[in-house]
A and B are shown apart, each in its own frame.
Chain A
C-alpha cells in the first residue's frame, strides 16, 4: 500500500467501521452510545447546577461551599466531556456558558477561564513536544505576537473594569456574544485539510526557515512540510491574542485555522502548535487577572478539577463513539450562548 493510499484511509477514518461490523447493527450500536453519552453530559451538568443553586440557600452552613465545590466540578466535568468530543478547548465553552447563564462576575469567569485553559494546555503540551509534532520554530514565532497582545488584552480587561464601572459588564457581554456567534459561524464553515498543498512560498516565510519534519506514527514515515504567508499569520495572531486576553478564552478555535488554512501547515502540526501556544500566551494573560484580584480558589480549583476529569472521561468516550454528532450541538451551544450574552448586555 502506498503512502498516499494510507493518507486517504486516514482522511476517511471517520467513515470507517472499526468494529468490523457493518450496516444497521453498527448504526444502532453507535446511536445507543450517543444517547448514553448525551444523557451522561446532561445528568452531570444538571446535578452540578442543582448542587450550585442548592449551595446558595445553604451558605450559612458548612454545606454551602461543599455543595458549590462539588456542583462546579460536575458542571465543568460535563463541559470537559463535551469539549473533547467537539474537538475544542474547554475555555471556549466555559466562559460563554458561565457568562451567559449565571450571575457570576465576568472578570472572575474570564480569569478562571484563562487559568483552566492554561493548565490544560501546559499538561497537554509535553507529549507533542517530546514527539516533535509541535514545531517550536513555528510556535515561538507565532507565540511572540500572541503573548504580547494577550497581555494587552488582559490589561484592557482590567482597564475596562475599573474605568467603565458597572457598564463594563454589559460591554464585555455584548462583545463576547457577537464573538461567540462568530465562532459558531466559523465552526459551520471550517474546512481543515490534513495535508494542505503548498505551491509557492513567499520570500519572508522562506527566510524564516520555519518547517521542522516530524515522524508520523500512523504512517511510519517522516512528514516534511512547508508553510507560507507568515506575515499575514503574524497579524492574525495579534488579533487572536487580544481576543484571548480580553475575554479569557483559550484560542485554539482561531489558531488552528490560522496555522492550517492560512499558513497551510499540516492539521496535526496546527493542532499541537496551537495547544502549546495557549500554554505560553495564556500564561502571559492570566497574571494580570491574578494580580487584579480576579481569581478565587473556591471557583478556580473545582473548575480546573472538573475540566481535567471531564477531559479524561471525554477522551475515553471518544475512542468508542463516532463524535460527529457533537458538531451540530456545539454550534447550537455557541449560538445559544451568544444570543443569551447579547440579550443580557441589552438588559
Chain B
C-alpha cells in the first residue's frame, strides 16, 4: 500500500496504556481545576496568603514576579518549590494546590501508562522505555529536581 487511505483492516483497538493515560490525566485535571476554582471563590471571602492590594497592583503595573513576592507575600521573599503545601489554610494555598494537582495529572498519567504498557505488553519494548523516561522527566520536573531555583 502506497498511500494513507482507509482499508478493510479487520480491527483497530485503542492501546490500553493510552486509555489509562487519558483517563488519569482527564480526571486529575478536572479535580485540580475544581479545587483551584473553590480556592479562588474562598479568596473573595478573605484569608488570603498574598496581600490582594499589592498583588493586583504588582500584576497590573507590570512588576516582576519576584518583586510581587517581595511586596505581596507575608514571607517578603520568593517561596520556591511547593510553597502552597505549607499554606493550605489560605485561599491562595488551596488554589495553588488545585493548580498543582492539575499539573501533576500528566505525571501520574505517564506512570499509569508505563505500568499498563509493561504489564499488558501491547507495544514493542522500546515504547515501554520511552514512556518510562518520559515519566521520569515529568517526575523530576514536578519534584523540582530540574529547577534552577
Q: Which residues of A does B touch, CB under 8 Å?
A: 3-4, 7, 52, 55-56, 59-60, 62, 64-66, 68-69, 102-105, 107-108, 115, 118-119, 122-123, 125-132, 134, 136-137, 140-141, 143-144, 147-148, 151, 155, 158-159, 161-162, 166, 195-199, 208-209, 212-216, 219, 221-226, 264-266, 276, 279-280, 282-288, 290-302, 304-305, 308
Contacts and interface: CB of A to CB of B under 8 A. Distances in A.
Interface in B2-35: 2-15, 17-19, 21-23, 25-26, 28-30, 32-33
A196 B4 CA distance: 6
A223 B100 contact: no
Contacts of B134: 140, 143-144, 147, 280
Interface in B43-62: 43-44, 50, 52-53, 55-57, 59-62
Most buried by A among B4, B28, B66, B134: B4
Given A122-B26, A292-B80, A297 B36 contact: yes
A298 B137 contact: no
Contacts of A151: 137, 141, 146
Contacts of B8: 221-222
Contacts of A7: 5-6
Interface string B58-94: 0111111110110000000011111100000000100
A130 to B, nearest CB: 6
B60 A140 contact: no
Contacts of A132: 12-15, 18
Given A225-B4, A284-B137, A301-B37, A122 B12 contact: no
A148 B102 CA distance: 20
Contacts of A65: 43-44, 52, 55-56
A113 to B, nearest CB: 13
B148 interface: yes
A278 B23 CA distance: 16
Contacts of A105: 59, 62-65, 68
Given A140-B127, A293-B79, A148 B137 contact: yes
Nearest to B107: A283
Contacts of B15: 129, 132, 136, 212
A162 B148 CA distance: 10
Given A65-B52, A291-B144, A213 B12 contact: yes
Given A222-B8, A283-B138, A301-B37, 15 more contacts: A55-B60, A59-B56, A104-B62, A144-B130, A158-B148, A195-B4, A197-B3, A197-B4, A224-B4, A224-B5, A225-B5, A290-B103, A291-B82, A297-B36, A308-B33
Contacts of B62: 102-105
Q: Is the interface of A mostly helix, strand, loop or mixed?
A: helix
Contacts of B43: 65, 297-298
B92 A297 contact: yes
B29 A305 contact: no
Contact of B22 (A129, A265, A290, A295): A129
A78 to B, nearest CB: 19
B132 to A, nearest CB: 10
A140 B64 CA distance: 36
Nearest to A137: B127
22 contacts: A56-B60, A59-B57, A64-B52, A107-B64, A107-B65, A118-B102, A119-B32, A119-B33, A122-B109, A131-B14, A136-B17, A136-B18, A141-B127, A195-B4, A208-B126, A216-B6, A221-B8, A224-B9, A276-B21, A276-B22, A288-B141, A293-B149
B129 to A, nearest CB: 9
Contacts of A119: 29, 32-33, 102
